[in-house]
Amino acid sequence: MSDAAPAPVRTMTMAKALNAGLRRAMEDDPKVLLMGEDIGKLGGVFRVTEGLQKDFGEARVVDTPLAEAGIVGTAIGLAVRGYRPVCEIQFDGFVFPAFDQIVTQVARMRWRTRGQVPMPIVIRIPFGGGIGAVEHHSESPEAYFAHTVGLKVVSCSNPVDAYWMIQQAVRSDDPVIFFEPKRRYYEKAEVDTRGTDGAVPLPLHGSRVVRPGRDATLIAYGPMVKTCVEAAEAATDEGRELEVIDLRTLSPLDLGPVFDSVRRTGHAVVVHEAPVSVGLGSEVAARITEECFYSLEAPVLRVAGADVPYPPSRIEEDYLPDLDRVLDAVDRSLSY
């Protein structure tokens, strides 16, 4: 490892922020180890683990065979023995061979043993589209995992959250499914490694008001947070102030800030890339309707992917929610 102490505030991409967060977690706890396909010498497809095997050795940064069920199954055994494994699933659509291990073993072990066997496993999954990739490389399977009791499901949307949330996930005694928006991997921001803006970082399970507004509330997570911020900035040209909330955690949901916002604005639009039917947006819309019914001035609307398999890369822009679709939903909401 380098002897030079890094500056506490650095401009870094989300990929570098995740790398720095993993590095710090490994420095803090020798029981933390990383596992995945091509994560060692290559540093992972997106270079999130670059340099970690060189600094921590092959016993703590393990290049595995192409066998996702084996990666997660091995992690279960390591967790039982007191380790904190962090698994990398190379692409979102590749997690399905490990789905059985995750939902029947990882999610249930702590409950099954009445708390005697914690499952401090983090499963990192690059997810979502926008990079022109082929089938199984651009999917948004978060609803499968959010529906499974026993799993924590989170998604970072910026380098600051990436740096802190990955460390908080590694420290969790419950398993965490950690979704990383791959189209945001190389976007940069200043990260204060002493804390967010010098203060204590948000807890892992807390949503955040990204941009305040008075006319309507946009609710998003992961890659769509930036899209919603861009829509809110564009809406100011028409004199509209849109509030943007980053859920950050998909299970459990922290909807307190969402309810507070919707009670003020009376209008809500939920945005995500996954297919619209039975997606996270359905749950969020239902909860808003239950809690804020008398404050709503329009139905809660959803802007999401279509109910079709992820399309070929050359037409993915027709599938993905964009600024225009978000603003169109805002128009419809405000027209009621």
**145-190 per-position pLDDT tens digit:** 999 999 999 999 999 999 999 999 999 999 999 999 999 999 999 9
Closest to 298 (Cα-Cα) out of 211, 219, 216: 216
pTM of the model: 0.96
Q: How far apart are CA 96 and CA 115, in angstroms?
A: 27
Compute the chain's Rg from CA coordinates: 20
Residue 288, pLDDT score: 98
What are φ and ψ of residue 293, in 5° steps? Answer: -55, -45
Token pair listed for 105: 């073993």
Peptide bond preceding 252 in cis form (omega within 30 of 0): yes
Q: How far apart are CA 181 and CA 196, in angstroms?
A: 20
Could you tell me the pLDDT band of residue 8, with boundaries at 50, 70 and 90?
confident
**135-154 per-position pLDDT tens digit:** 899 999 999 999 999 999 99
Residues 6+ apart with CB under 8 A from 16: 159
Q: Of these residues, 136, 137, 147, 272, which one is catalytic?
A: 137
List the helix and strand counts (H, then E) for the chain.
12, 14
296 and 258 Cβ atoms separated by less than 8 Å? no
256 and 286 Cβ atoms separated by less than 8 Å? no
CB atoms within 10 A of CB 124: 25
**295-327 per-position pLDDT tens digit:** 999 999 999 999 999 999 999 999 999 999 999
137 is annotated as an active-site residue: yes
SS3 content of the chain, % helix, strand, coil (to 5): 40, 20, 40
Helices marked H in the chain: 14-28, 52-56, 68-80, 99-101, 109-112, 142-146, 159-171, 224-235, 256-265, 280-292, 316-319, 323-334
User: Domains plus CATH for the chain?
Assistant: 9-192 (3.40.50.970), 208-335 (3.40.50.920)
| Residue type for position 208 | R
